[in-house]
C-alpha cells in the first residue's frame, strides 16, 4: 500500500507556499504529511491526477489556472463547489475525485476573523472572473454584502459568473471600460492575476473608492504591490493582501483530509515574516 500523498497542482507552481503551510499544520497536529507541488497545464490535468492517484495521491489542492478544469473532472462535488463552478480541494474517495472549494470561506474568515472587518451591507466590486473569483463570490454574498458587480478583462467570463451566481438583483456584470461610471464601493476585491504579467490593469479610477472602502488583493507578496499601492493612493480605509486567505483555505482543506482544523496563527506568522504586507493604507 503506497504512502498517502498530498500535492498542489498549478501552472506555474514552483513558488507555492502550500507545502510549507501543510508541513506546519501536520507538525502542529502530529500528522505525517507528504505534500508536493505538481506543475501541469489545464489540458493535462486529468491525466496528471490519475497518475498521482496511482502513486498514492489522496488529496490535492488546485490553483491557477486549473480550478475550473478540476471542477469538470470531479465525480462528485460539494454544494459550495457547485455554487462556485470551481474547485480548490480534491479528495480521493473509492477511486474517484470529490471536489470542494474552501477559498470563499477562507477569505471571509480572514477578513471577519483575523482582521475584524464587517462585510455586511457593503457594495462590492470584483475585478476578475477566473477560478478565484468563482471561489469567493458566493461566500461574499453569503457574508451579507449588499451588491456584487463583476468586471473582467474578457467580459463574457464576468457575464458567465454573474449568471452562475443566479442572483440578478444582487450580482451583475459590467464592462472593465466602464469602471469610471460605476460609482463607489465599500469593498473592492482584486481576483485577477494581472500583476504577475507587469500589466497596467491597476490604473483604476479613484472614483471607485469612498472613505469606508476595504481593498482586498487575493494576491500576496510582490504580486500584491500594484493593487495595494493603488488602494493606498486612492485613500482606501483598509487594504488587505491574500496571505491570510491562503492560510485559512489551507486549514479547511486540511480538515477535509485529516478530520481536524489546525490553528492557523502559527503558519500565518511564519509566512508573514517572509511575506510582509509591503503596502498598507493608513
Ligand X SMILES: NC(=O)c1ccc[n+]([C@@H]2O[C@H](COP(=O)([O-])OP(=O)(O)OC[C@H]3O[C@@H](n4cnc5c(N)ncnc54)[C@H](OP(=O)(O)O)[C@@H]3O)[C@@H](O)[C@H]2O)c1
Q: Is 109 in the site for ligand X (CB under 6 A)?
A: no
Which three cell numbers, joined as nine digits, stand for 270?
511564519
Which three cell numbers, joined as nine digits, stand for 147?
451588491
67 a catalytic residue: yes
CB of 222 to ligand X, least distance (A): 11
Which helix (H) or strand (E) segment holds residue 180: the answer is: none
CB of 93 to ligand X, least distance (A): 24
Site for ligand X, residues 199 to 218, rule: CB under 6 A: 199, 201, 218
Please give the Cα distance from 173 to 163 (Å, whole number): 9
Q: Where are the alpha helices (DSSP H) in the chain?
A: 18-29, 45-54, 67-73, 79-84, 103-108, 131-142, 155-165, 225-233, 243-258, 265-274
The piece of 40-48, 122-130, 139-147, 167-175 that touches ligand X (CB under 6 A) is 122-130
Q: Figure out which of the listed residues 78, 91, 192, 224 binds ligand X, where binding follows CB under 6 A.
A: 192
Q: Figure out which of the listed residues 60, 194, 267, 279 binds ligand X, where binding follows CB under 6 A.
A: 194
DSSP one-letter code for 262: P
User: If you write DSSP's letter for every residue of 75-143 in order, what string do you get?
Assistant: SEE-HHHHHHT--SEEEEETTEEEEE--HHHHHHIIIIIIS----TT-EEEEE--SHHHHHHHHHHHHT
Q: 224 near 278, Cβ under 8 Å? A: yes
Give how many residues touch ligand X by CB under 6 A.
Answer: 30
Q: Figure out which of the listed residues 95, 116, 168, 197 binds ligand X, where binding follows CB under 6 A.
A: 197
Q: Figure out which of the listed residues 186, 242, 252, 253 binds ligand X, where binding follows CB under 6 A.
A: 242
CB of 272 to ligand X, least distance (A): 13
Q: Is 154 in the site for ligand X (CB under 6 A)?
A: yes
Closer by beta carbon to ligand X, 91 or else 249: 249
Residue 267: which of 282, 245, 238 has the closest Cα? 245
Q: Is 65 in the site for ligand X (CB under 6 A)?
A: yes
* 222 CA to centre of own chain: 17
Q: Is 101 in the site for ligand X (CB under 6 A)?
A: no
Binding site for ligand X (CB under 6 A): 64-65, 67, 103, 128-133, 152-154, 157, 191-194, 196-197, 199, 201, 218-220, 223, 242, 245-246, 249
Active centre residues (catalytic): 67
Amino acid at each position: 500500500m503506497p504512502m498517502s500523498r498530498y500535492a498542489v497542482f498549478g501552472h506555474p507552481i514552483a513558488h507555492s507556499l502550500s507545502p510549507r503551510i501543510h508541513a506546519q499544520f501536520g507538525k502542529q497536529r502530529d500528522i505525517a504529511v507528504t505534500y508536493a507541488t505538481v506543475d501541469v497545464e489545464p489540458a493535462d490535468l486529468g491525466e496528471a491526477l490519475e497518475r498521482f492517484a496511482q502513486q498514492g495521491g489522496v488529496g490535492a489542492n488546485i490553483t491557477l489556472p486549473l480550478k475550473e478544469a478540476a471542477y469538470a473532472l470531479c465525480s462528485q462535488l460539494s454544494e459550495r463547489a457547485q455554487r462556485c463552478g470551481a474547485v480548490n480541494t480534491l479528495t480521493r474517495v473509492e477511486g474517484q475525485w470529490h471536489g470542494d472549494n474552501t477559498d470563499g470561506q477562507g477569505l471571509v474568515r480572514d477578513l471577519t476573523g483575523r482582521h475584524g472587518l464587517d462585510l455586511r451591507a457593503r457594495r462590492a466590486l470584483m475585478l476578475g472572473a477566473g477560478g478565484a473569483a468563482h471561489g469567493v463570490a458566493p461566500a461574499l454574498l453569503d457574508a451579507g454584502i449588499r451588491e456584487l458587480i463583476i468586471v473582467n478583462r474578457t467580459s463574457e467570463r464576468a457575464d458567465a459568473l454573474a449568471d452562475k451566481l443566479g442572483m440578478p438583483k444582487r450580482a451583475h456584470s459590467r464592462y472593465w471600460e466602464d469602471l469610471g461610471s460605476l460609482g463607489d464601493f465599500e469593498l473592492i476585491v482584486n481576483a485577477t492575476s494581472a500583476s504577475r504579467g507587469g500589466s497596467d490593469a491597476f490604473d483604476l479610477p479613484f472614483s471607485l473608492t469612498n472613505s469606508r472602502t476595504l481593498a482586498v488583493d487575493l494576491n500576496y507578496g510582490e504580486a500584491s504591490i500594484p493593487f495595494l499601492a493603488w488602494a493606498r493612493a486612492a485613500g482606501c480605509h483598509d487594504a488587505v493582501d491574500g496571505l491570510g486567505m491562503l492560510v485559512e483555505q489551507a486549514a479547511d482543506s486540511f480538515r477535509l483530509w485529516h478530520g481536524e482544523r489546525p490553528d492557523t496563527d502559527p503558519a500565518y506568522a511564519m509566512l508573514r515574516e517572509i511575506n510582509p504586507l509591503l503596502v498598507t493604507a493608513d
